[in-house]
């Protein structure tokens, strides 16, 4: 499932030309030629919604360095075992959240309540890149809203793979295998420093993009929202404009009209270019926690030349709110002896990422 950049760009462009205003289409109304003209005549309506404080909307060329690490690892292990058991078990019925299309306030309140239901997630994962037959396997731990750690490697051995993580202060990618012309290294950056660094223009990286792809979306109180509207297939779409140091970034969130679950998130940069999107599918309900979670995540990045890079992540059955152990150690950046530590904010040359996908043609 791909976004519709051509249709989204028109909405994004007009939305950004009305600063400080949240335009609301009548609840449940599809954006056709008639409603479009009526909608764009209503940009004097302002409705900023108070939602739980979140961090910056995730920059969504989010995994350039991470993809490079995985490409090097997978290409070097294509002869390894490729058997992977389908995780997640039988799907249970997904509860109906909305009997009729919700208003913007109702939808945002529902998303905020969903995010607040759980604090921690733990799951086995298998990661695969488009065009590369081998998967690497490991574990993913998340503690909302800021903490994430994924360790994965060949045959599930993280010693032959990567350690990717994020906490309140910093994020890191420890590549335990050699990249072309680069030995194993630990790439890291302070969140605040990275936001202001020149390298962010070429590597707008934030591993927390993966947290949002699980469907636990977060908004800032200063974000401007438009929608929800219904698309041609009856799904809801919510547009959110977030101001960043490099200009406004817009997220188009596609949701199920009945369950309210996030199916896709597409990110447009300050020039209205689609730069990344994620698909969240194979949802399973966890009734004891009154929440449904995806067991398949696809992350896509669109290069400036139109090349598309895809990373697929299969997740096993989740353990919810059950992480144990030393929290300081679990969420701390590793300090491996004898491994080069590279501060991304001080890099002068970007990492070269091999191309693994097909050319993307906007709709």
pLDDT tens digit sequence for 73-104 = 444 444 333 333 344 444 468 999 999 999 99
Residues (pLDDT < 50) of the chain are 20-64, 72-91, 352-363
**Cβ atoms of 203 and 344 closer than 8 Å:** yes
The CA-atom distances, in angstroms, between 37 and each of 11, 41, 102, 258 are: 11, 6, 22, 27
Task: Write the pLDDT tens digit of every residue in 173-191.
Answer: 888 876 666 788 998 998 8
Q: Which pLDDT belongs to residue 354?
A: 44
Residue whose C-alpha is closest to residue 280's, from 313, 236, 303 = 313
Cα gap 68→86, rounded to integer Å: 26
Task: Write the pLDDT tens digit of every residue in 209-242.
Answer: 788 899 888 888 889 999 999 988 899 999 999 8
Q: Which pLDDT belongs to residue 92?
A: 67
Peptide bond into 234 cis (omega under 30): no
Q: Which pLDDT belongs to residue 240?
A: 95
What's the predicted TM-score (pTM) here? Answer: 0.74
Q: Which pLDDT belongs to residue 276?
A: 87
**Cβ atoms of 189 and 170 closer than 8 Å:** yes
Q: Which pLDDT belongs to residue 70?
A: 53
Domains of the chain: 45-346 (2.50.20.10)
The CA-atom distances, in angstroms, between 257 and each of 36, 108, 164, 202 are: 20, 13, 34, 36
User: 3-state class of 248 per DSSP?
Assistant: strand
Residue whose C-alpha is closest to residue 136's, from 115, 165, 160 = 160
Q: Which pLDDT belongs to residue 197?
A: 76
Residue whose C-alpha is closest to residue 209's, from 158, 261, 171 = 171
Q: Which pLDDT belongs to residue 9?
A: 72
């Amino acid at each position: 499932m791909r976004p519709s950049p051509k249709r989204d760009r028109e909405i994004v462009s007009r939305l950004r030309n009305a600063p400080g205003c949240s335009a609301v289409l009548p609840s449940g109304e599809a954006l056709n030629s008639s409603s479009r003209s009526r909608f764009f005549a209503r940009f004097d309506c302002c409705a900023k919604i108070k939602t739980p404080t979140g961090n910056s909307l995730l920059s969504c060329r989010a995994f350039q360095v991470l993809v490079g690490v995985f490409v090097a690892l997978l290409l070097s292990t294509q002869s390894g075992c490729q058997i992977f058991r389908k995780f997640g078990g039988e799907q249970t019925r997904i509860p109906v959240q909305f009997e009729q299309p919700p208003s913007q306030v109702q939808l945002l309140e529902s998303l905020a309540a969903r995010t607040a239901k759980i604090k921690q997630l733990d799951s086995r994962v298998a990661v695969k890149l488009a065009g590369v037959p081998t998967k690497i396997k490991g574990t993913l731990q998340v503690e909302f809203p800021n903490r994430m750690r994924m360790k994965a490697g060949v045959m599930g051995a993280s010693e032959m793979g990567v350690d990717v993580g994020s906490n309140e202060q910093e994020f890191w990618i420890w590549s335990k295998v050699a990249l072309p012309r680069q030995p194993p290294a630990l790439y890291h950056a302070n969140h605040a420093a990275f936001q202001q660094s020149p390298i962010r223009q070429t590597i707008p990286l934030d591993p927390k993009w993966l947290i949002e792809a699980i469907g636990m979306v977060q908004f800032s109180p200063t974000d401007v929202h438009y929608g929800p509207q219904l698309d041609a297939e009856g799904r809801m779409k919510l547009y959110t404009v977030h101001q960043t140091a490099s200009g406004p970034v817009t997220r188009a969130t596609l949701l199920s009209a009945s369950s309210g679950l996030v199916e896709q998130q597409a990110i447009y940069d300050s020039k209205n270019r689609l730069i990344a999107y994620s698909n969240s599918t194979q949802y399973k309900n966890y009734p004891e926690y009154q929440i449904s979670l995806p067991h398949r995540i696809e992350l896509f990045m669109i290069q400036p030349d139109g090349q598309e890079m895809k990373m697929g992540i299969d997740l096993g059955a989740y353990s919810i709110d059950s992480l144990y152990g030393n929290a300081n150690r679990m969420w701390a950046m590793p300090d491996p002896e004898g491994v080069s530590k590279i501060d991304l904010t001080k890099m002068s040359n970007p990492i070269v990422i091999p191309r693994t996908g097909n050319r993307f043609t906007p709709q």
